[in-house]
Each structure stands twice: as structure tokens, then as C-alpha cells.
């Protein structure tokens, strides 16, 4: 039985500096920073959309429906209140956010991906092995499946 006196040299034990460096490298990766920025901007955008719905869109809908305070619409079943107005506010907010994401993120990215999509390479011409009937490259001199020698392409008149 061996006793490890210096834990820093033990296999599987990370040094504090190495662990800190590894954590720093993880946090400063582009994907993590981009995700953090996206979450903060998304939360701020959600607040703006909620204010738009609550202060502009809902009063317009309420004016058409004859209710001055649309968010206070509710109905009661067995002494339980169902806040229909709040649900409609949330639904309208969701639809606006979904539309903005679709038209300003998904559609442009799909357009860019189709525009810069690489064209697939044409497959190499093939021919059948006369012995095992497997498909082999046209310029092959030996079959990869049965290892039979094949007649070169130029003598077959394929070239």
C-alpha cells in the first residue's frame, strides 16, 4: 500500500490553478458568453413586448370589446377565479415574440444557409465487378470485395 504525500502529484487530482484555469477557459468560450448575452437581451426584449401588449395592444382590443381594463377580465367557477385577460395578454406577448424570432432570426438564417450551402460532389463513376457483381470505382484494377483482378478502364473503352 502506497501513501501519496503530495496530492498535487496524485493521478486524477487536479491542481487548484489547473481547475481555476479550466473553469476560466470554459466561462470565456464563445458559446457560453454568446448564450449569456442572448439570455439577457431576450429577457429585456420580453419586458418590452409585455409592456407593448399591456399598454398598447390590450387597450386597443379592450376598446373594441368595450372593456376599459382588459387585464382584469376573469370568470369564476366554484369560487375559483380564472384570469382570462392575463392569459390573453400572455398569449399575445408569446405570439409577438415568436413572430419576431421567426422573421428576424429563423428566416434570415435559413436564407443564409441555403445561399451558402455547398453543392454535393458528384459521386465517382463506378462499374460492376464481373466476378462478384459488386460496385467498384471505374478506374479500379482490383475488386475490393473479392480481390479479383479487373481489366483497366482504358481497355474497356470507358475513358
CA distances in angstroms from 147 to 134, 140, 144, 155, listed in the order given: 11, 11, 5, 19
Q: What is the pTM of this model?
A: 0.50
Same domain membership, residue 81 and residue 26: yes
Residue 120 lies in a domain: no
Q: Rounded to an integer, what is the distance from CA 4 to the centroid of its chain?
A: 46
24 is in which domain, residue-wise? 15-115
CATH of the domain at 36: 1.10.1200.120
C-beta of residue 52 within 8 angstroms of C-beta of residue 60 = no
pLDDT tens profile 86-135: 888 888 888 888 888 899 888 998 898 888 888 888 888 999 999 999 99
Residue 9 lies in a domain: no
Same domain membership, residue 133 and residue 67: no
Residue 58 lies in a domain: yes
Amino acid at each position: 500500500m502506497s501513501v501519496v504525500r503530495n496530492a498535487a502529484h496524485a493521478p486524477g487530482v487536479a491542481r487548484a490553478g489547473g481547475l481555476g484555469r479550466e473553469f476560466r477557459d470554459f466561462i470565456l468560450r464563445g458559446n457560453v458568453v454568446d448564450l449569456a448575452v442572448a439570455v439577457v437581451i431576450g429577457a429585456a426584449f420580453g419586458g418590452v413586448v409585455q409592456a407593448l401588449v399591456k399598454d398598447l395592444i390590450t387597450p386597443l382590443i379592450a376598446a373594441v370589446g368595450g372593456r376599459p381594463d382588459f387585464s382584469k377580465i376573469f370568470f369564476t367557477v366554484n369560487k375559483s377565479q380564472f384570469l382570462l385577460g392575463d392569459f390573453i395578454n400572455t398569449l399575445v406577448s408569446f405570439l409577438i415574440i415568436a413572430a419576431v424570432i421567426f422573421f428576424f432570426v429563423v428566416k434570415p438564417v435559413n436564407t443564409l444557409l441555403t445561399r451558402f450551402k455547398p453543392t454535393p460532389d458528384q459521386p465517382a463513376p463506378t462499374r460492376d465487378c464481373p466476378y462478384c457483381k459488386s460496385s467498384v470505382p471505374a478506374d479500379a484494377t482490383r475488386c475490393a470485395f473479392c480481390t479479383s483482378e479487373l481489366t483497366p478502364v482504358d481497355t474497356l473503352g470507358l475513358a
